[in-house]
Amino acid sequence: MPSRVFIIRHGETEWSLSGRHTSRTDLPLTEAGERDARAVGAELRSVEFRLVLSSPALRARRTCELAGPTRASEIEPALVEWGYGEYEGRTTAEIVRERPDWDLFRDGCPGGETPAQVSGRVDRVLARARAQGGNVALFTHGHLAHVMAARWIGLPVLQARHFSVAAASVSILGLARGDSGAPVIALWNSRPGRPPA
């Protein structure tokens, strides 16, 4: 089992700033996003990683590059954001005006991914992280980070709605001390150099 799994959400983009769902649209970081990614790096500099994985999206790769973890990163396609399909580029407020009962974690997105598909991807990444036996860094996206937290502690994807994660945040999944070794959320949504969201 790994010592810890660090989930790092990419820095701010124009669409994350405005609340627009961004999966396959490949946007760069804003100036603030680049600054915050460097702050994440200052926080991670003392951590030795056995494995560093990044989403192939530009915003995640750039965050990883600026954070400068102690080990070279690998691209992991399973770390891409939830496929929003027809909801790409739209805000939650716009979507619920048309579909008031919509819940991403229950319903998924038309033309995009289902909760079961996202859960399968996340479970595969977490299984790989668990097999490393050391610290692992995952540079990824907002809704995927929600699902990682839920799946790490054995909850269904629907329960991922109870987690919130800001741009350029660091969260840590770990194991309880003592005999149980139960999966725990050791740190959630820490924003290096900034107040909590």
Catalytically active residues are 10, 81
Residues 6 or more apart in contact with residue 81 via CB below 8 angstroms:
22, 23, 24, 55, 57, 140, 141, 142, 143, 144
Residue type, position 71, single letter: R
Give the end-to-end CA distance of the chain in Å, rounded to a whole number.
Answer: 30
Cβ–Cβ under 8 Å, residues 49 and 137: yes
The pairing of beta strand 51-54 with beta strand 5-9: unpaired
Residue type, position 158, single letter: L
Residues 6 or more apart in contact with residue 94 via CB below 8 angstroms:
none
